[in-house]
Structure 1
């Protein structure tokens, strides 16, 4: 199939690329079992009701040493999402399985519950009230939805952690390189895209076991789960930190000044995963920095507020 995406006027796209300045509805697309940062991002979203209304969570595929293949990675992520949903006491939060494979070609979407749910939710909204899609894994679900329903490009704003900084020597980043066809669909579609690069931008969003022991461990079931998840991610924590990449995608919606950004032409991606410039491309919003301290302080404070509320409810 060959998609014919909605031609969005550039001025309309640029307006969409500005931070909304209000509470928004989001769908979280996540490969939750892949690493430990997706759990942090999902819980940060759940703890930020003043900024975000989490409508649904979609499980994304992944394949590394944590899975036997994309389908297994997606299924493990689906089960991890259900676990976090249960810990949060939010059993009614909709959760959908995503793609069981990567896109086999540039015009070949992968059918899934997640792709169809995204289309349904986005098209049900008003034209001036886009759904925000926070994607923190391979972009297969979103790209497939765009191919299945090209009008979707004018009904969502996509916030994606993907690739490395434009100045980096390559963009061979896990989320981007898993499904290069899907990456190109998203970059070519004209969908309003807020891009958070990994190496060179988000890569200093780090924390340590001792910091989490002090500020997260005793903050209710969610805090305990995050601490235990981090504890188990390496055998020796002495002198070591870990990047919690995916927090940044939620943080841009919570407080955009914590994630300074600029408009830039949508790049192309080479077969060997390098950014390529091209004339006449539409604009995206490109995040250039993240305020590590502000983001973690906000997460810690919100976990504390939630834990206090849970204790009071239990009295």
Structure 2
């Protein structure tokens, strides 16, 4: 072999070694880092994407629910779609949007999820959608999701906009999971508030193929009852934001003493109904799966015959039977210190 060829061969052999010594191995950027114990650090859990639909301002529970959702590090609140209730000043959805903004004004948030006013009136026909910016927001947010990774859509007011999204785009049902506070209890159904405000919308939801979980009045009244003193103790260490939330509860008790007495047996206690939806997202509930019923115009359920239910295995509903309230309130206290 000629001297020139030998020198070229040696150079080709040495060059990769020099590059490795100077710059490190070319595969090191793809090698996972390890901790002191030689193990890979845990991958941060992906936050659950959520859109809240709410009649914020109709009751104090809406504000508490919105606050905990906005501050929870486990959850990614993509936005708020406001809806209607008889007690909200017209246009109702715009009033609920203003109250939602007021909640954000009192929280230590670095960024704010968008608030979009939805429908201020219920459906007049369960086959005809009421399209609006809130409905389009729901559809847009759902489109990056799939049956394997569903968008959580919380229904804590009238279900008008969620029903409209299902009517406009039936595949919306394949990309979302609906979690709702509503109905008096299982197996009867019935409802004095959220469902009553748009019965046709709930008929659309129950006739869809979207997964549905419900926390009813019975379980929330039992497990989410908060007294005047407890509300202030819950937020005592959290300055102005805590005082704002506690005062909402106090103001409700003072304003609706007769209703509180009728519902709970005391003028000084009230259930924070809507927070059952937050508890579910945090894994703090237990429930049972039933064949999905149909909803009559009088808000009572019609249950499928057993043979029919067997044929329609996919048509089920999850009914929450218990809420870990102590863990839920502990979580709420902790996230009040967060700046998200």
TM-score by length of 2: 0.76
Aligned counterpart, 2:271: 243
Task: Give the number of the structure whose alpha-carbon radius of gyration is greater.
Answer: 2
Structure 1 position 221, deviation (Å):
3.2
CA deviations 1:220-241 (Å, max 9, x no partner) are: 3321211111121132698621
Of residues 84, 88, 95, the one that matches 2:103 is: 84
Of residues 146, 150, 160, the one that matches 2:170 is: 150
Contact kept, 8 Å, 1:30 with 1:58, in 2: the verdict is yes
Structure 1 position 288, deviation (Å):
1.2
**For residues 92 and 233 of structure 1, do their structure 2 counterparts lie closer, same or farther at Cα, with a shift above 3 Å needed?**
closer
- For structure 2, the 5+ residue unaligned runs are 1-44, 261-265
Contact kept, 8 Å, 1:260 with 1:287, in 2: the verdict is yes
Of residues 265, 286, 290, the one that matches 2:291 is: 265
Does 1 or 2 have the higher relative contact order (CA < 8 Å, sep 6+)?
Answer: 1
Contact kept, 8 Å, 1:139 with 1:182, in 2: the verdict is yes
Q: How does 1:35-74 map to 2 (within 5 A)?
A: 35-49=59-73, 51-63=74-86, 66-68=87-89, 71-74=90-93
Aligned counterpart, 2:133: 113
Aligned counterpart, 1:227: 246
Contact kept, 8 Å, 1:43 with 1:222, in 2: the verdict is no
Contact kept, 8 Å, 1:85 with 1:93, in 2: the verdict is no
Contact kept, 8 Å, 2:253 with 2:267, in 1: the verdict is no
The reply on whether 1:203 has 2:228 as its aligned counterpart is no
Structure 1 position 103, deviation (Å):
0.3
Structure 1 position 125, deviation (Å):
2.9
Q: Kindly report the root-mean-square deviation, in angstroms, between the aligned alpha carbons of the 2 structures.
A: 2.1
Q: Secondary structure at the match of 1:288?
A: strand
Contact kept, 8 Å, 2:143 with 2:175, in 1: the verdict is yes
TM-score by length of 1: 0.82
- For structure 1, the 5+ residue unaligned runs are 1-20, 311-315
Of residues 169, 185, 200, the one that matches 2:204 is: 185
